[in-house]
Amino acid sequence: MLVYGTELRSRLLLGTAQYPSPAVLAEAVRASGAEVVTVSLRREGVAGGGQGFWQLVRDLGVRVLPNTAGCHTVKEAVTTARMAREVFSTPWIKLEVIGEDDTLQPDVFGLVEAARILSAEGFQVFPYTTDDLVVAGRLLDAGCQVLMPWGAPIGSGRGINNPYALRSLRAHFPNVPLVVDAGIGLPSHAAQAMELGYDAVLLNTAVARAGDPVRMARAMARAVEAGRLAFEADPMEARDMAAPSSPVIGMPVFGA
């Protein structure tokens, strides 16, 4: 997968919040094979992770995708992004502008505005958005070169709520890297996203809150790979009626 000129071998991106311990986080990242991890500047500051957490991420040898998680306004998101660029020394930013607290649904109007500001400042923006086609087009016009539509609300584990909408996004933007972000709860959900033709999956809670995060990270990695292979294999279309798998030509027909 090519994003902003960077080639990524792994199609699984992993969040770093809510793990039982830093050691479990590190082991889960290694088990997942992820090359990119998301880090929230605000959450790390509140949790007191500081230099110890940053050193752990450095030791893993992965690329950091800072996150504006917890921001509800354009001003908050832009300011957090600027701080993250200084702290993590990267132009990459996962842009979140939350518009509704219960569902954590993005404020798509603020998202587009913030994306335009940050893109003009040289940021390489990964916008967490809805599965709306019009919003997707506006984000691309604002300078984004990748889109990250939700599968379901953050942390819900509901999987893919609207396969039709995600399939439509894929069809309308065939050359844009698309990453399903949020709502994935099971490996089967991750595989489904990849079977729809998506380029990658970003998840956090499904691994961090599993009884065995390391084993779940490994399962998610395999599911993403399986889903991508299935998509590339050009799977059969679903049928309404049965179709025999064994040939019927040349079979004897017995009369009454």
Known binder of ligand: residue 204?
yes
Known binder of ligand: residue 183?
yes
Q: For residue 51, how many other CB atoms are within 10 A of its CB?
A: 8
Helices (H), the chain: 22-32, 41-47, 50-60, 74-88, 108-120, 133-141, 163-172, 187-195, 205-208, 213-232
Which residue is associated with the tokens 């404020």?
107
Known binder of ligand: residue 182?
yes
Q: Which of 11, 85, 94, 138 is catalytic?
A: 94
* Cα separation, 131 vs 193, whole angstroms: 13
What's the chain's length in residues? 256
Closest CA to 44 of 14, 22, 23, 13: 22
One-letter amino acid at 146 equals V
- The yes-or-no answer on residue 75 being catalytic is no
Known binder of ligand: residue 155?
yes
The pair of structure tokens assigned to 58 is: 């450095």
Closest CA to 177 of 205, 139, 134: 139
Binding positions for 1-deoxy-D-xylulose 5-phosphate are: 155, 182-183, 204-205
Known catalytic residues are 94
Binding positions are: 155, 182-183, 204-205
